[in-house]
Amino acid sequence: RKGSVIITGASSGLGLATAKALAETGKWHIIMACRDFLKAERAAKSAGMSKQNYTIMHLDLASLDSVRQFVDRYKRSGRPLDVLVCNAAVYQPTAKEPSFTAEGFELSVGTNHLGHFLLSRLLLDDLKQSDYPSKRLIIVGSITGNTKTLAGNVPPKANLGDLRGLAGGLNGLNSSTMIDGGEFDGAKAYKDSKVCNMLTMQEFHRRFHEESGITFASLYPGCIATTGLFREHIPLFRLLFPPFQKYIIKGFVSEDEAGKRLAQVVSDPSLTKSGVYWSWNQNSASFENQLSPEASDEEKARKIWELSEKLVGLA
Ligand code: NDP
């Protein structure tokens, strides 16, 4: 049978390119989990994906009710779940004020981390039950977890501090909107959320890999300077960033190439190792990358897991 893979945020950028790459193999049915149904339908069409290879299902990660409804509908569909890809993200580098999810969490961490945390926890049993030869849970990371690189050191740097803001619910009322308890900074909130993504992947690995055989992985696909992720950035930045990445940093990858990389993490029989943060070198060969001390801190990973369980209503 075909493999069944859910990809969140498959309506643009990396998620769409990955859906396209997997659809082209003819071996996968892709469930595009998107907040904008029409946009996703148009995107799939313009990517040339054939109807029999995909299904679009509504999912708004900025609402925990929507996450629960999505999971219920998926379970009722009777489809197996072989791979889950947590890819969607929001990035608000120029926001002066925070925005919030339906439950009142700061939007970047609420969407990128808490929405995906609930989604993957609720779908873990379905992955366990899959009889597919290699079942996987992939959470897309970023370079911000890698302080050994130039790009991982651009300020503001990710820093989760003692997690006091997260413990308080990130709501700006009785707690800060930032995980570390500091002043709101949209670029930092995004980077913090990505560190949470990478820590969550490792915590999943420690808790569930041995018993379930599921491969848990994260990756940095390279800098895809052309995606919608930068849509809220100032126009001059959007003009200069792609050539800067291409010619100076040399970290630029096209959406197609990045999609092929994530598709490898979904389906390549040689990438089954669990607990790994994949990156690619200049020749597009994959390697196991090292994470920064904070993005590999076991104690912090456990605390974030426990605090997140409370915030999403699992504990
Ligand atoms: P895009 O903005 O193109 O894609 C993000 C996707 O997330 C969109 O499909 C968007 O939906 C979706 N999304 C946003 N909010 C929600 C929500 N509340 N519910 C459901 N879906 C939502 O950016 P990229 O493709 O660049 O980003 C994809 C992933 O790649 C992210 O995890 C990002 O952190 C990561 N990444 C990107 C890099 C880059 O250089 N671009 C580098 C490293 C990592 P919609 O289409 O409706 O807006």
For 77-104, the pLDDT digits (tens) are: 999 999 999 999 999 999 999 999 999 9
Structure token digits, residue 9: 């945020």
Per-residue burial over 179-204, b = 16 or more CB atoms within 10 Å of its CB, e = otherwise: bbbbebbbbbbbbbbbbbbbbbbbbb
What is the per-residue pLDDT across 97-123, written as a single tens digit (0 to 9) for each? 999 999 999 999 999 999 999 999 999
Pocket test for ligand 1, best of 8, 227, 278 (most atoms within 8 A of CB): 227
Q: Tell how far the Cα of 23 is from the centroid of ligand 1, in angstroms.
A: 19
Average pLDDT over residues 140-146: 81
Tokens of 68: 């629960």
Distance CA 111, CA 305 (A): 16
- Please report the pLDDT score of residue 145 as a whole number: 64
- Beta carbons of 275 and 130 less than 8 angstroms apart: no
pLDDT of residue 150: 66
State the average pLDDT over residues 5-17.
98
Q: Active-site positions?
A: 190
d(CA 148, CA 249): 14
Please tell me the predicted confidence (pLDDT) of residue 132.
Answer: 97
pLDDT tens by residue, 162-197: 999 999 999 999 899 999 999 999 999 999 999 999
Q: 249: which DSSP letter?
A: I
CB of 227 closer than 6 angstroms to any ligand 1 atom? yes
Q: How far is the CA of 272 from the centre of ligand 1 (A)?
A: 24
User: What is the rounded distance in angstroms from the CA atom of residue 190 to the CA atom of residue 156?
Assistant: 10
**Is any ligand 1 atom within 6 A of the Cβ of residue 11?**
yes
Q: How far is the CA of 195 from the centre of ligand 1 (A)?
A: 16
- pLDDT band, residue 247 (cuts 50/70/90): low
Mean pLDDT, rounded, of the chain: 93
User: What is the atom index within ligand 1 of the atom nearest the CA of 11?
Assistant: 9
Question: For residue 251, is pLDDT > 70?
Answer: no
pLDDT at residue 283 in the model? 85
Q: Determine the atom of ligand 1 nearest the C-alpha atom of 43.
A: 46
**Residue 240 pLDDT greater than 80, yes or no:** no
Query: Pick the residue with more confidence: 8 or 154?
Result: 8
Q: How confident is the model at residue 253 (pLDDT cuts 50, 70, 90)?
A: confident
CA separation for the pair 229, 15 (Å, rounded): 12
Task: Choose the residue to mutate in 14, 41, 118 for probing ligand 1, maximizing ligand atoms within 8 Å of C-beta.
Answer: 14
Length of the chain: 315
Burial class (CB in 10 A: 0-12, 13-18, 19+), 164: middle
